[in-house]
Structure 1
């Protein structure tokens, strides 16, 4: 069994042991919200060095005051001066409002607003349904996502926005459409349309975009259907989950020296048989649980994040 298969089994067992925790975005994308979110209770000992950092960042309901500033890596960091994507725009609507995860670096907010306009113009969608971005100060989340910590990640539903204003109840309980066939070998032809390719291609062609993560079946469909210039496909990478949404990751913005960049993708379209074979192997499609499930990793503590994340937590709230 190769290394990626072993990693997948570890993630699977960790997910099960955590009751559906932070590693499988497919589940969190479909989790329903609530019309009556309750504030989290105060922490008994917030200075406990063993306390999970997600407990601290998850209790911050507003961003840190100051200019936008990204600290750390996508899966281990935080950010100051986050901007909120308005929950309703002319060509987008934010889903799962109770999570309060529509925060990001202004560059990501601007990209989503721009991309939603392209979805209307080029794909004929009324607009985009936007899922999780980041918490007000970034950092690890109480549920879902190992990444989304520095305001440079965002999930976009593969369900077109309806041509009407969704109710609050719909935004909390509506489910996205499954794009992958039951056998997981290809897309569902009853759900997938050429407009899905148009939207993903428009996102990948944005110069600031570093990666687009999709289910392997969606990557397979894009490889099959893309015509003309295919250079944008190099940014589109298969990833576990992502059956209902695609994940946009942008590059570190200029003027953020503490932001840790990701290695640029290989300059190939990633559509060769060897590129996709692993994702459609039996070990991935039908994984067997390990005989002895590995123990879940302990959650990230504040001391394991970049040092300046302490200042981000301690900073006063930005005025909104």
Structure 2
């Protein structure tokens, strides 16, 4: 169990909810497969191979949202509806109007839905109720919002806030690159993206390229700001920090992974060992990132209705999520 991305949020520390109460509330919205006329279904699933919806390892919790969607491309619906519209036009002697075509497409959709293929995926979230962290393993805020929205619908209250720091990531990353020095316990790696703040949005991306020297400084002087920067923390965890304060391409290095005994008793024991190691490293990494960005804002405003629209536009969700 190793997360690949982190969309970060803050809960009260400690979060005043018991494990038993949390489990009871999630059970009210357990995952159910799509019905014959449903395009999508969402609900909580067990993170591991048991029936427990909140998987605790020590004082750290893991939950998972299951999402099942019907695969019914609009082009298929249009094709079938157009063929039927031509047949009807031949029978009645005139073409269907716009309203009739819309109704026909809705009818075709309902007829095809029961025969459509389905695709399942799951989205994991880590909750640290002691230190007030909630992190969703998602490549975008839009996908993380699927989890947050279902949590809001499930719980009596969700006192959640976006993680906010005194300095913006772009400003801090620009200073690190300009000075050629990373903050304490971090190193700057060889991947970076810089983007102009002007209307042309000119961008330059470096991959496996040294980020020292006048070339990078020239881009900074010209008005480009870093939007992504690859870094390593304490020679243990590598990641890409984005201008939206997202953690991407998260990778726990061999010095961390090698702590796991290769002869774990069973799959669950291995899963728990990985989750314990991962959360232990994240409990060190996240405060260090916040400190490097000037510290957390003193009193972040609690926003019980955090949505994807609270952040800048994000890239579309990536395909290829593992089924559950």
Q: TM-score, normalised by structure 1?
A: 0.25
Normalized per residue, which structure has more strand?
Answer: 2
Q: Look at both structures and tell me which one has the larger radius of gyration over its CA atoms.
A: 2
**TM-score w.r.t. length of structure 2:** 0.25
